[in-house]
Amino acid sequence: MKFFIDTADIAEIRALAATGMVDGVTTNPSLIAKSGRKIAEVIAEICATVPGPVSAEVTAIEAEGMLKEGRYLRAIAHNVAVKVPLTPDGLRACKTLSEEGVMVNVTLCFSPAQALLAAKAGASFISPFVGRLDDIGQDGMGLIAEIVQIYNNYPALKTEVLVASVRHPQHVVAAAKMGADVCTIPPAVLKQLYAHPLTDKGLAAFLADWKKTGQSIL
């Protein structure tokens, strides 16, 4: 499963890219707003840092406006994936941009029917938001299971399932068990993936025993 990081914070992206664990980046208008920077500038920097797909979201609500914004964003770098909302206009824009060879990430997906529509519109990625479903008492990961099952029935579909709105490491593990293609992970959650108290305890014990030997490897 590929790991994308869900942030527009370039310092975080640089630090995490250096770990070799990052295959792409997702942003959204809220994350760009949080960065306090111009979208074109921040997307260009992210694209220069991470070679994989970098999602940049349109903010127009009609297809024509989405197409204009999408083409502008795509011109920033070859690895931009234009992100459009799962609306009739978003899917019209998705179909046109996909036919032009642009990667499109269809976002704000909350049902299997929506995921089916995005795949028919030629999306490169579908982004179901698991955390926001959990937040309202629904089963976010259940949605991923349904989408993976549906897409697996049609091997000709090329749309990748990109698990979004991830809140904790259990979402990531469950996504991998289900065979999702990508998980976009907030930096704090990516760091949590490394952690286990027995790793820390075991390492401390090994180092203490090693110190007693008086040896050094080099």
Least separation in angstroms between residue 7's CB and ligand E4P is 9
Least separation in angstroms between residue 208's CB and ligand E4P is 40
* Of residues 74 and 83, the one with the C-beta less far from ligand E4P: 83
Least separation in angstroms between residue 150's CB and ligand E4P is 20
49 burial level (CB within 10 Å; 0-12, 13-18, 19+): middle
Q: Which of 83, 158, 191, 212 is catalytic?
A: 83
Residue 156 tokens read as: 């000709």
Indicate the length of the chain as a whole number.
218
Residue 132 tokens read as: 């926001």
With CA atoms as reference, report the closest residue to 109 among 146, 80, 79, 155: 146
* Of residues 23 and 204, the one with the C-beta less far from ligand E4P: 23
83 is catalytic: yes
With CA atoms as reference, report the closest residue to 100 among 76, 124, 125, 65: 124
Distances 112 to 54, 109, 177, 214 between C-alpha atoms, Å:
24, 8, 18, 61
Least separation in angstroms between residue 70's CB and ligand E4P is 16
* Of residues 140 and 199, the one with the C-beta less far from ligand E4P: 140
Q: DSSP letter at 18?
A: T
Positions in the binding site for ligand E4P (CB under 6 A): 6, 26, 28, 107, 127, 129, 131-132, 164-165, 184
Backbone angles phi, psi at 123, to 5 degrees: -60, 145
* Of residues 2 and 132, the one with the C-beta less far from ligand E4P: 132
Q: Which residues are catalytic?
A: 83
